Amino acid sequence: MQPLPKLGVGLAFQAPLNPMFEAAAPPLDYVEVVPDIFWTDRGPGMAPRYLEDARGIATVAGIARRWPLVAHSIGLSIGSADRFEVEHLRQLRQWWQRFGFPWHSDHIAFHLAEHQGTRANAGITLPLARDRESLDLLVPRIREVLHEVPVPFLLENNVYYFDVPDADMDEATFLNTLCQESGCGLLLDLHNLHTNARNHGFDPFDILRHLDLRHVGEIHVAGGMELEGFYLDAHSDVIPEAVWHLLEWTLPRCRNVGGVTFEIFGSWVDGVGLGAIGQDLERLQALWARCHGDLPVQAPQRQVGT
């Protein structure tokens, strides 16, 4: 993968974080936005299929006048066996034309599936089998994404609370092969990796040591919580020290990475506090400066539509 613009440290948009976005000099270099939360998907066959939230679009446009935007979708369901959401892809192209994000991403997962003649939505990202059949499904779809939205496309390693048995490949081999064959990059979510390691009892560094980190274009970090014997990727807290350790080892080895993004869900912002979130962002800024230079290289700015 080609090196991405060195944006630096990003924060995933949630409305309760607005006081931080409105501050004079918050410790962040870009904002990551989930486009899907700013439109309503009326389903296949509807015209228009997507109804956009004008007020939300105005909010995003205001943010884009201050920082580079990176798009992180949740709706592509690129691993669905029954059909590929090309309409979602065309909607995403319109967002790229409007905001000019330097790269975008989604998940190596699926949530949409055919069930009794209708399309069911599981509501969570479900893991794919790590086998040749999955690669053969994903690779041509990734190439279609790259053709339709002509900027780097990253796929995120998935969190999973159950694993598909009898995998043909370990996770690192699957991710390396996927990137090599398709031309996509990797959004390496270290909290997902930490969550899987805790729940399934493996050493996360075993995967990191076998990953080809040249494919990593972005890193996600977050916090989680315990619930009934599971550790959850709940985006509910500041970054735990175990994830900091993963990041401190990984970040200097990712020579093509464009940024590190902190994620927290809006429902947890008040409990965690903007002060604690700001402290994590400042710590991320210091680590980024040590690994990739003191000054981030900003992405080229495009005219932002409203």
Give the CATH number of the domain where residue 14 resides. 3.20.20.150
Neighbouring C-beta atoms of residue 49, cutoff 10 Å? 16
pLDDT digits (tens, 9 = 90+) for 203-260: 999 999 999 999 999 999 999 999 999 999 999 999 999 999 999 999 999 999 999 9
Statement: residue 305 has pLDDT above 70: no
Percentage above 90 pLDDT, the chain: 85
If you average pLDDT over every residue of the chain, what do you get? 93
Q: Is position 131 within any domain?
A: yes
Q: Are 77 and 110 in contact (CB under 8 A)?
A: yes
Residue 303 lies in a domain: no
Task: Report yes or no on 50 lying in a domain.
Answer: yes
pLDDT value at position 121?
Answer: 82
Q: Are 104 and 149 in contact (CB under 8 A)?
A: yes
Max CA pair span of the chain: 56
Instruction: Tell me the average pLDDT across 265-277.
Output: 98
Instruction: Kindly state whether residue 152 falls inside one of the protein's structural domains.
Output: yes
Q: Specify if 278 maps to a domain.
A: yes
Condensed to tens digits (0 to 9), the pLDDT of residues 137-183 reads 999 999 999 999 999 999 999 999 988 888 999 999 999 999 999 99
**What integer is the mean pLDDT of 294-302?**
46
Number of domains, the chain: 1
CA dist 138 → 79, 89, 127, 170 (Å): 7, 14, 13, 17
Instruction: Examine residue 284 and state whether it is found in any structural domain, yes or no.
Output: yes
pTM of the model: 0.94
Q: Is there a domain that residue 98 lies in?
A: yes
Give the per-residue pLDDT at 275. Answer: 97
Residue 280, pLDDT score: 98
**Residue 296: pLDDT band with limits 50, 70, 90:** very low
Q: Which long-range contacts (CB under 8 A, 24 or more apart) does 131-140 make?
A: 131/167, 131/168, 131/169, 132/168, 134/79, 134/174, 135/174, 135/177, 135/178, 135/181, 137/79, 137/81, 138/78, 138/79, 138/108, 138/178, 138/182, 139/178, 139/181, 139/182
Please tell me which residue, 69 or 124, carries the higher pLDDT value. Answer: 69
Residue 304: inside a domain, yes or no?
Answer: no
**Tokens 């990727």 appear where?**
233
Residue 36: what pLDDT? 95
* pLDDT at res. 294: 53
How many Å apart are CA 249 and CA 243, to the nearest integer?
A: 10
Q: Are 111 and 76 in contact (CB under 8 A)?
A: no
Q: State how far the Cα of 43 lies from the Cα of 281, in Å rounded to an integer.
A: 38
The set of residues, in sequence order, having a beta carbon less than 8 Å from that of 146 and lying 6+ positions away, is 153, 183, 184
Structural domain span for residue 91: 8-292
Q: Which residue has the higher pLDDT, 83 or 275?
A: 275
